[in-house]
Structure 1
């Protein structure tokens, strides 16, 4: 079937064939079948009612291209894409109950036992469609939830197809809190080191020019050209400002490391002056220059500035997800996390118009907490959640960002914690990530990457 025929068949599915009140079976038979044709999947590359091993209900469709000796609808193994369908009159508009329930459903399927190879999830009712990307245990939007009509269906389906067939390897993570002193740099460096120990290829970016703590903590002394020059001069290749950080340790019996984009410690602060930079770049620039690197790494971690200026805005814009460290004994860090979640990051989401970045739940970073202190912290968090829900100008549900395990049936208020451990901070003075030196610290950070990133 040539492309013109596929295009017309997909349009006809909406215009001529699909009833306005189509049930789920009709959406599947009339619309989804033509969508799958358009996306390039033959009939024997589709499995309806695929058993994900997540509860008793199967996902509506699984897709994967055949290989020479593996016909997908015969072997029913290693799917690439899961598709969850809904009846046409179910409200899938962003923010609706139908949307929230369907997102939870596709997320559960994507993380299920039988779906370890899955990279994409699609939800649609033939009025709306959204594509999600799976990277490890992170499920983040690859598009916004798009409204479908006969005039735009080819454009939207083409966008989905291009995303699926041109995937990017890296997950880009901005480590951010508008409050300083919460351990963003420590988190960035030790998370990168931990991922490297798990055989992941990692790039970290120092994008806090006021402090340059990341560059300093690793004792990197970059020469010309500099990162700043790369931002403002398109003729400079981003790869020319990347520095390898490698260390060989006897206790690990192997060399480990990651790549770094540093900021020269002796570079005048004037070249990073915000007014000057805004004349030459905007918040999209960091994303643009990192784009060619995204198939060279498994993870790109950005150490963001503790403010809401061009540096932090650019880091958030470039990210797939945002990781927010806080301190249980620093209420300002909790308030700034709430402000970032409720106000600042949504500004970038609206500008990007692709559904990203995804905001990950907060965690408590590296402070010993007494029972009384934890009680006070959660009391403060509860007030932040209550205030956000009652804000008449911008009602917002902060609950899943502070208590991600909380449900109506299970009122679990657990917040992930990195314990206080002296060698984490002390290692910065030796210019070596703590996870490379201390077994207990390695276990702490392994728990963090498993909590947020790895299955």
Structure 2
């Protein structure tokens, strides 16, 4: 049975999708079967893996509406052992569609049950908010991975995210746990970055992964070519960081 991980942070531009794609790629290279479920209407995890999201008819939107099964929406990617359930802008209207539905926060959990046994890992790439899509991801997941940029105000807003995680644990998904915090966009030349790393480690302790993802041009470029960093620039500092993260995730779960 797959380990299901929601990659979440309501702040945008912190490296959620970058982490989802590249962690999946390195786990895939290790022989792990990985499924990415894109629940961000921007569809960046889908396009970042080379899919033309404007031409795809079966997406997470249709899965939420129960027009197709999640299994029917799965697409193979060029990345070894990595498949994706894509998303596009249609998903942005899902809040209204789900208003009338019962148990709407469990839609994704129910859909994933049928396919989870076929994978080692399922990563749910969440939108930059704490709405119904992120709530569905938290209800479906075994754990949450939080990418956090090593910049000013990095911890701002995390209080709200941790509160939501706590509420989900209390009443919707008691088995949900914090898998870990991934430090991203690290610039070792600045004292601020060092200070943020220290603050985050003080706050989260052993839940902070040792792998620190640097600010790296190649990481920024790779999605526009529809490739993971493993395929685009395997010798880059960004690739080395995500390889280290994949090793940690494999070792510690």
User: What do the CA deviations read for 1:128-161 (whole angstroms, capped 9, x no partner)?
Assistant: xxxxxxxxxxxxxxxxxxxxxxxxxxxxxxxxxx
**From 95, 114, 121, the counterpart of 1:299:** 121
Give unmatched runs, 5+ long, in structure 2: none
Deviation per CA, 1:55-88, whole angstroms, max 9, x where unpaired?
A: xxxxxxxxxxxxxxxxxxxxxxxxxxxxxxxxxx
* 1:423 match: 218
Corresponding residue to 1:229 among 40, 54, 62? 62
Do structure 1's residue 344 and structure 2's residue 164 form an aligned pair? yes
Task: Name which of 205, 210, 222 aligns with 2:37.
Answer: 205
Partner of 2:181: 362
Separation of aligned partners in 2, 1:310 and 1:324: 18
Please state how far the C-alpha of 1:268 moved relative to its aligned partner: 7.4
Partner deviation per Cα, 1:202-258 (whole Å, 9 max, x = no partner)? 00011011x22112223323533432122122x6322111111025xxxxxxxx241
After TM superposition, give the deviation of residue 421 of structure 1 in Å. Answer: 2.1
Relative to structure 1, is the Cα distance of residues 199 and 279 closer, same or farther in structure 2, using a 3 angstrom cutoff? Answer: same
Alignment of 1:74-85 (within 5 A): none
Counterpart secondary structure, 1:203 = strand
**Among 225, 229, 238, which residue is 2:70 paired with?**
238
1:310 counterpart = 2:107: no
SS at match of 1:404: helix
The 1:371/1:224 distance shift into structure 2, 3 A limit, reads closer
Mapped contact 1:403–1:414 kept (Cα < 8 A)? no
Q: CA deviation at 1:180?
A: 0.8
- CA–CA separation in structure 2 for the residues paired with 1:371 and 1:451: 26
- 82, 88, 103: which is aligned to 1:258? 82
Q: How far off is 1:346 after superposition?
A: 0.8
Normalising by the residue count of structure 2, what TM-score does the alignment of the two structures yield? Answer: 0.87
Q: Does 1:372 align with 2:205?
A: no
**1:249-307 Cα deviation digits (max 9, x unpaired):** xxxxxxx2411000145x3744x2x1332223511110110011111000000001111
**What's 1:327 paired with?**
149
Distance in 1, matches of 2:160 and 2:92, equals 28
Distance of 1:379 and 1:191 partners within structure 2: 24
- 1: CA distance, partners of 2:222 / 2:40: 20
Q: Is the 8 A contact 1:419 1:444 kept in 2?
A: yes
Matches within 5 A, 1:12-411: 169-209=1-41, 211-221=42-52, 223-233=56-66, 236-247=68-79, 256-265=80-89, 267=90, 269-270=92-93, 272=94, 274-280=95-101, 282-331=104-153, 333-341=154-162, 343-352=163-172, 355-370=174-189, 372-377=191-196, 381=200, 399=203, 402-404=204-206
RMSD: 2.4
Larger radius of gyration: 1
Instruction: Determine the structure 2 residue equivalent to 1:121.
Output: none
CA distance in 2, matches of 1:423, 1:379: 26
Q: Shift of residue 419 of structure 1? A: 1.9
Report 1 or 2 for greater relative contact order, CA contacts < 8 Å, sequence distance ≥ 6: 2
